[in-house]
């Protein structure tokens, strides 16, 4: 299992992101049948949302994004809420597997902003969906097939907002192990000023 969560709204954000990831950890140790991947992942996300909501104080409700992959053989389940992202490098091509749940992205979808305007918009990090926010959790769920040679990247907007897609593809295509590639990506973000927290994880599919 891979997971990245990015908490916000003050100091409670760190606790919210940690709680979200902790809620998924039992799945990593469980023998999850491929047919049950999505169901179990959806249930864990509901638990994570409940836990994050439980961190609220009288005047403060922290929220967190969450993007996670859970694999059992070749089937791979993806859950996503917020603006953390999942990318897939396959056959030398880089694919974005998630869509940001942000106000700016809704404006792009409605044709009110183009992508260049969205990238520079002061409200580009304003979320419309997150764990702990809204009346109920609204996460995207998808089932994919993992292939040998696939490379997956999960990252917070601290990376994706400042390192462009071409640089991501170049870094991920390099014949380096995941740990060194992560360090290289963090270095690229730091070179751009690292205006936000950077969280990323990479996994290579060797066999299915």
For 23-27, 58-62, 73-77, 118-122, which range has the lowest pLDDT when averaged over its residues? 118-122
- CATH code: domain 2-204 is 3.60.40.10
For residues 77-94, average pLDDT: 96
CA distances from 85 to 32, 55, 101, 121, 130 (A): 24, 24, 10, 19, 13
Q: Is the pLDDT of residue 108 over 80?
A: yes
Q: Is the pLDDT of residue 133 over 90?
A: no
More confident residue, 159 or 10: 159
- Model confidence pLDDT, tens digit, residues 140-192: 999 999 999 999 999 999 999 899 999 999 999 998 899 999 999 999 999 98
Tell me what percent of the residues of the chain surpass a pLDDT of 90: 62
More confident residue, 144 or 107: 144
Return the SS3 of 95. Answer: strand
Tokens of 74: 């070749």
pLDDT at 91: 94
**Mean pLDDT, all residues of the chain:** 90
What is the dihedral angle through the alpha carbons of 57, 58, 59, 63, rounded to the nearest 10 degrees? 30
CA distance 32 to 38: 10
pTM: 0.92
pLDDT at 9: 67
Per-domain boundaries in the chain: 2-204
Return the SS3 of 76. Answer: strand
pLDDT at 46: 93
């Amino acid at each position: 299992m891979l997971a990245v969560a990015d908490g916000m709204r003050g100091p409670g954000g760190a606790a919210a992101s940690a709680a979200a990831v902790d809620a998924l950890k039992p799945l990593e140790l469980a023998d999850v049948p491929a047919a049950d991947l999505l169901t179990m992942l959806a249930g864990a996300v509901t638990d994570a949302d409940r836990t994050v909501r439980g961190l609220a104080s009288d005047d403060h409700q922290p929220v967190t994004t969450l993007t996670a992959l859970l694999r059992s053989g070749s089937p791979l389940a993806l859950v996503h809420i917020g603006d953390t992202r999942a990318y897939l490098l396959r056959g030398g091509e880089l694919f974005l597997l998630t869509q940001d749940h942000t106000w700016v992205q809704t404006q792009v979808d409605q044709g009110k902003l183009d992508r260049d305007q969205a990238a520079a918009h002061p409200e580009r990090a304003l979320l419309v969906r997150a764990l702990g926010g809204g009346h109920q959790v609204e996460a995207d769920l998808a089932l994919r097939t993992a292939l040998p040679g696939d490379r997956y990247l999960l990252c917070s907007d601290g990376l994706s907002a400042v390192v462009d897609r071409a640089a991501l593809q170049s870094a991920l295509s390099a014949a380096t192990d995941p740990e060194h590639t992560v360090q290289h990506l963090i270095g690229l973000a730091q070179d751009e000023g690292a205006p936000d927290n950077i969280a990323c994880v990479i996994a290579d599919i060797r066999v299915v």
